[in-house]
Amino acid sequence: MAQFTQVTSRVIPLPNRNVDTDQIIPARFLKVTDKSGLGEALFSDWRYNADGSEKSDFVLNHKHHQGAQILLAGDNFGCGSSREHAPWALTSWGFRSVISTSFADIFHNNALKNGLLPVIVNKEIHQSLFDLVEEIPTVALTIDLASQSITLPDGDALKFPIDKFSKNCLLSGIDQLGYIMSHDAKISTYETS
């Protein structure tokens, strides 16, 4: 599984609430049999005009956002379909972490399995981060998983929660299927009982 330890990056603000996986990657891009290249389809309908040119007013297209690895998203990010193509598209574009007040359950699970760190913050911190990015669009944050903290340019560190299992898996790149298979004997016992 993809590892995650730390990322320092500029931040792309996308305050829309309830961003669904159909926006993250529309269904017409799901007719693939591999994971590659999905970054081009990320937020496709918000990102491109009908003629395929980029919409200049969409945040992902801003010059100073190119190469950013942190998405600061609105509440309930990733609701809707179970498509893992959503985190594949986000990581393929270059994102390593998404910060929000909440994530839809399936997206949250899918993100963790792809080294895309979902960072949950409270409403106050969430708003203060949007304010910060508005004030200094090129501001860089450091997200550190081991210490479960977001470090601001002034050195302030904001804590975020994550369950121990996911944290360990991400830090060490532990394969979750490997964990399940290590209990193979118990699965066999269950099947015969």
Partner 1 sequence: MSLQPRTLFQKIWDKHLVVQEPHSPAILYVDLHLIHEVTSPQAFTGLRNRNLQVRRPDRTLATMDHSIPTTPLSLPMADTQAAAQLEQLAKNCAEFDIELFDMDSPWRGIVHVIGPELGRTQPGMTIVCGDSHTSTHGALGALAFGIGTSEVEHVLASQCLLQEKPKTFEVRVDGTLREGISAKDVILALIAKIGTAGGTGHVFEYTGTAIRTLSIEERMTVCNMSIEGGARAGMVGPDDSTFEYLANREYAPKGLEWEYALEAWRKLPTDSGAVYDRSITLNANDLEPMITFGTNPGMGIPITKCVPDPSQVGNADTRQSLENALTYMGLQPGQKLLGQPIDVVFIGSCTNGRISDLRLAADILRGHKVAENVRMLVVPGSQKVKQQAESEGLDRIFSTAGAEWREAGCSMCIAMNSDKVDPGQYAVSTSNRNFEGRQGKGGRTFLASPLTAAAAAVRGEISDVRTML
* Residue 95 C-beta: closest distance to partner 1, Å: 17
* Residue 173 C-beta: closest distance to partner 1, Å: 14
Q: What is each CA distance from 108 to 14, 129, 140, 141, 181, in whole angstroms?
A: 17, 21, 24, 21, 22
Do 105 and 52 contact (CB within 8 A), yes or no?
no
* Residue 104 C-beta: closest distance to partner 1, Å: 7
Report which of 133, 161, 131 is spatially closest to residue 149, judged by C-alpha positions. 161
Residue 29: both structure tokens together: 């891009």
Check residue 106 for interaction with partner 1 (CB under 8 A).
Answer: yes
Q: Which stretch binds partner 1 (CB under 8 A): 5-13, 63-71, 132-140, 171-179?
A: 171-179
Residue 106: both structure tokens together: 């399936």
Check residue 156 for interaction with partner 1 (CB under 8 A).
Answer: no
Could you count the other beta carbons within 10 Å of the beta carbon of residue 150? 22
Do 62 and 87 contact (CB within 8 A), yes or no?
no
**In this complex, which beta carbon is closest to partner 1, that of residue 9 or of residue 170?**
170
Among 6, 7, 15, 128, interactor with partner 1 by CB under 8 A: 15
Report which of 122, 114, 121 is spatially closest to residue 166, judged by C-alpha positions. 114
Check residue 100 for interaction with partner 1 (CB under 8 A).
Answer: no
Among 9, 91, 92, 114, interactor with partner 1 by CB under 8 A: 114
Residues interacting with partner 1, by CB under 8 A? 15-18, 20, 22-23, 26-28, 30-35, 45, 74-76, 79-84, 102, 104-106, 109-110, 113-114, 163-165, 176-177, 179-181, 183-184, 186-187, 190-191
